Amino acid sequence: MAVDISRIPVPPLSTLAKLNVSLSDDLDVPKIASQWLDALSSMLESNSPKTGVGDLFLADSWWRDMLSLTWDFRTFRGISSITTFLEARIKLMNPRRFKLRHDSLLGLERPYDDIAWINAWFDFETDTGTGLGIFRLVPVATGEWKAHTVFTNLEDLKGFPERIGPMRNAKPNHDNWEIGRNREIGFEQADPVVLVVGAGHSGLDVAARLKAYDVQTLIVERNERIGDNWRNRYDTLCLHDPVWRDHMPYLQFPSTWPVYTPARKLANWLEHYADALDLNVWTSSEVIAAVHNHSTGTWTVTVKRADGTERVLDVRHVIFTTGISGIAPKMPLLPRISKFQGQVLHSSQYKKALDHAGKKVVIVGACTSAHDIARDCYNHGIDVTMFQRGSTCVMSAKNNWDVLLKGAKLPMNFVGIVFLFVDHVIYTVGLYEEDSPHPDIADRINASFPNFMAMGLIQRATQRILQMDRRLLESLHRRGFRTNDGIQGTGALLLVYSKISGFYLDVGASQLIADGRIKLKNDSQIKEFTETGLLFEDGSQLQADVVLFATGLGDIKENIRKVCGDKITDKCPPIWGFDKEGEINGIARELGTPGLWYFTGNFASCRFYSKHLALQIKAKVEGAFSERYSTSD
């Protein structure tokens, strides 16, 4: 179930004062880390967590596992919870052969003056696969170092490695390559094992991972070309995060790529990516039905092709990669809309400002899309007013970057502080920079901080950013624009995970509002439409030729309901939002019916989690998947 994160108590930070310790100047960090890992290994291999966990972990400690020991995404907090988890899984998974990595990632880190931890990486294996772990040790009053966080991640399956690197043993077949590819794409001889609905970056990522694991996969894309989901958006759309964060599996952007990718350039890259990796994609096609066969455990999927013909496929897995929102625009039901003589649009229908040249535009909404569209309108000389219904969390994108990279003295590997949400895609900044580690390393560092555990650190960074933004925020307040500092003072992060709205990371529109160049209305709620605009509850009116609703999209499950029907969809657990352990609901997890999955997120999260999804499917295909250790609700 999805939890109300505004009610979750923020875990206290394990500061040096709280631990009642001070640091010595002559720490032997490798020795401390080695001794701790040896003790963990001994405890696990002797199956004695009941007596060992208390000696190795803080009372308020965290263990996050991604598939390696649970075949699920789980976070356990506290000695009792960690002990129960280990007692349930040690005999089944048989973790062993723990080996510390003696490299640059091993060291003492000081994210703040009052916080310190030893950070270390290790390798291990289970009966099923190989794993990677990260632990962070903090000092305690007895002079010992105990774990505050442990992260374990499944890296590969034994006997089924990724098929990556040049295919040196493949025989040349230059004359018939194109014929062979056409047969492969057409699935003339056998149906695919996996069908992916949608050829956006998330669909391409997981298809690429499945191909590397030799799982036959077909992507069905309703648009005419791969990348049209970006190509057909409004003209000024551009990614707001740096290119170093956006690399896709197996094929990175060229070194000459722009730092911030324009949407149309990204669209062409996605098309090139599918071609370069020989991914099987049917464009101008649509999945119109998917029926689960309980007796066989397979899915009968009907695909309508561009020429109007239908192809029926029997597949074992169906993955929806149709975005982080539903299909239908969310628009408030306002009375007398039929009386309005102007144009009513949703932000998803907006293309370019010049479509509305010479007109008065009113934007209903005050979050990211509303700000981006309002700025575009102003830049093209259009009279634009933003109607703000409630307060908005506003934070400067520049100061987010400065705090993450400079101001807060955070280690290079601390991320997850600030998220940006732009046009239904989530981004994080801070770890992914030109001179940062390889994205595969960065992704694992990012994942090694349990989401709820990091809330106190996020609050600190948010307050610093808001202080740096003080002049901007004060100027907005003088104009009457209402702001807040996010759920429990965490800025944009928890707003992203809870409702994917409510915030704006400023890239220029806020100053336009503060200066009055983008007009503002927020002193009364809308009562109804008039022939020439909007009437408000206090009797005031706003003239408009265009009323544009930047009010979000519908339930993500509607993407499934359209294809699978009510019975299957109603069995799905929540998709998106936190579960009670701080993991994201539904993503890369089966959804109530065997073989049904949903996969979405930003470029970095899809790069990382696509391997987790592929590993689960490969293990199921090969009979290597064992019992999943999931929460009871």
| pLDDT for res 398 | 60
- pLDDT for 15: 95
pTM of the model: 0.90
The letter for the amino acid at 405 is L
For position 430, what pLDDT does the model report?
Answer: 53
Is residue 238 domain-shared with residue 113, that is, in the same domain?
Answer: no
Calpha distance 158→130 (Å, rounded): 7
Q: How many domains does the chain have?
A: 3
Q: Look at residue 481 and tell me if it is in a domain.
A: yes
* Other Cβ atoms within 10 Å of 260 Cβ, number: 13
Residue ending a domain, among 103, 127, 157, is 157
Quick one: DSSP state of residue 486? B
DSSP secondary structure, 75-87, as one string: EEESHHHHHHHHH
**Residues 185, 264: one domain?**
yes
Q: Are 213 and 614 in contact (CB under 8 A)?
A: yes
What proportions of the chain, in percent to the nearest 5, are helix, strand and coil? Answer: 30, 25, 40
Rounded Cα–Cα distance for residues 358 and 607 (Å): 43
Same domain, 527 and 458: yes
pLDDT value of residue 422? 29
| In a shared domain, residues 507 and 381 | yes
Asked whether residue 215 falls in the same domain as residue 294, the answer is: yes
Q: Is 215 exposed, middle or buried (0-12, 13-18, 19+ CB in 10 A)?
A: buried
Same domain, 524 and 584: no
Q: CA 431 to CA 437: how far, in whole Å?
A: 8
Same domain, 191 and 294: yes
Domain range for 460? 337-400+447-549
Q: What is the DSSP string of 16-39?
A: HHHHT----SS--HHHHHHHHHHH
Looking from the CA of 435 toward its CB, the CA atoms found within 13 Å total 2
Identify whether 526 is part of a domain. yes
Residue 204 lies in a domain: yes
pLDDT value for 227: 92
> Residue 233: what pLDDT?
78
pLDDT at site 174: 57
Domain stops at, among 504, 522, 549 = 549
Answer yes or no: is 476 within a domain: yes
10 and 128 in a common domain? yes
As given in the structure block, the two tokens for residue 414 are 């601390």
Residue 503 falls inside a structural domain: yes
| Residue 515 sits in the same domain as residue 580 | no
Residue 332 lies in a domain: no
For 338, the 3-state DSSP assignment is: helix
- Chunked in runs of 10, what are the mean pLDDT values of the chain (633 residues)? 86 95 92 98 94 96 98 98 97 97 92 94 97 98 96 98 70 66 89 97 98 98 93 74 86 89 90 97 98 96 96 98 85 95 94 95 95 95 97 80 43 34 33 75 92 92 92 97 96 82 90 98 97 98 98 91 97 93 94 96 92 98 95 71
In this structure, the answer to whether residues 611 and 466 fall within a common structural domain is no
Domain membership of residue 536 (yes or no) is yes
- Please indicate, yes or no, if residue 409 is contained in any of the structural domains: no
Same domain, 267 and 355: no
- CATH number of the domain bearing residue 153: 3.10.450.50
Residue 355 belongs to domain with CATH number: 3.50.50.60
Domain boundary among 549, 567, 594: 549
Pick from 603, 624, 606, 612: which is nearest to 269 by CA?
603
**Domain identity same for 143 and 123:** yes
HEC states along 532-571?
CEEEECCCCEEECCEEEECCCECCCCHHHHHHHHHHHHHC
